[in-house]
Amino acid sequence: MREPGTVLLVGCGSQGRVVLDLFRQAGRFAEIGGFLDAYGDGARGPIGGVAVLGGLAFLDRARGEGFCAAIVPVGENSLRQGVTERVVASGLELESIVAPSATIGGGVVLGPGAMVSAGAIVVTGARVGRCAILNTGCTVDHDCELGDFIHVCPGAHLAGNVKVGDRTMIGIGASAIQGVRIGPDVTIGAGAAVVDDVPGGVTAAGVPARPIRGPS
């Protein structure tokens, strides 16, 4: 728990509203001191009763204004990485949030800045990287290794020992069988079934999942 008003939400979009609600559910709403607009100058009204204090330039004076930590609810993985680098450079710590209805097993490691939504399940021995988004109702089974800035979308399911590279998105309702390796910068399409390893930088879709677009 942080002191009241000392945590920034850096991202004003839909993911920002989701994360604000997670803080409410967890009884931590008082910790939030304001939003920052990750894409503009912050010239907008409050979000969910929380003021928007400005754009990313505010980070340069955030510590002087009494803030000690930030969380980066930006849905697009590469953009979330870039914003996070700005946050870290400002000297703020990365804050995490876990919904009260999520289940986190024994021995699970959640990296700093993780966002775990309602109904998500992370099973024993799993390791989740920095600033990961584990969205509503997803499951990450035993001993999975998920990289930094990944996004497991609502209702997606990873069996045990799956490895997922940095900045990869597992689409809504997709699944991966035991032990497959999914590279960095991959997009797994909605409803896809990953039954073989997926190389980095591709978009894969279908049942079974196959690359439909190569590295950009």
Q: Contact at 8 Å (CB) between 62 and 90? A: yes
**C-alpha torsion angle, residues 154, 158, 159, 162 (rounded to 10):** -170
Phi, psi at 89, each rounded to 5°: -65, -25
Q: Contact at 8 Å (CB) between 97 and 23? A: yes
- Please give the Cα distance from 184 to 25 (Å, whole number): 32
Does the annotation mark 142 as catalytic?
Answer: yes
Q: Contact at 8 Å (CB) between 112 and 127? A: no
Six token digits for residue 175: 């699944």
How far is C-alpha 168 from the chain's CA centre? 11
Question: Considering 142, 191, 199, 200, which one is annotated as catalytic?
Answer: 142
The residues carrying an active-site annotation are 142
